[in-house]
């Protein structure tokens, strides 16, 4: 049969010493934006995405059958919500 897959395509990843979790993002008024394939990487300005937020989205995809066959782009952005408040991208 066909292999199930989900592609999470993050923008630049934040360094370890920077914004590393949703709490740190929220404290600075920063969050993430999720979008469909080829919709976010032309936006300016965009910020680095914490590695923890990318990992959390990947884990969420594993447990949600609606994520199969989907591609989600993820970038950091001022004024957006932390990942836990963004809602399900599938």
- The pLDDT assigned to 24 comes to 60
- The pLDDT assigned to 5 comes to 92
Q: Are 20 and 51 in contact (CB under 8 A)?
A: yes
Cis peptide before 45 (omega within 30 of 0): yes
Q: Is pLDDT at 88 greater than 80 in this prediction?
A: no
Beta-sheet strand order (sheet of 30-35): 6-10, 70-78, 30-35
How confident is the model over 28-74, as pLDDT tens digits? Answer: 656 677 777 777 767 665 677 878 888 888 998 998 999 999 998 88
- The pLDDT assigned to 39 comes to 72
- The pLDDT assigned to 2 comes to 82
């Amino acid at each position: 049969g066909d292999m199930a897959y989900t592609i999470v395509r993050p923008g630049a990843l934040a360094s370890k010493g920077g914004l590393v979790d949703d709490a740190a993002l929220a404290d600075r008024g920063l969050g993430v934006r999720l979008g469909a394939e080829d919709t976010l990487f032309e936006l300016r300005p965009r910020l680095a995405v914490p590695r923890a937020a990318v990992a959390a989205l990947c884990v969420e995809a594993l447990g949600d059958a609606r994520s199969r066959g989907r591609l989600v782009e993820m970038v950091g952005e001022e004024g957006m919500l932390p990942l836990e408040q963004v809602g399900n991208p599938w």
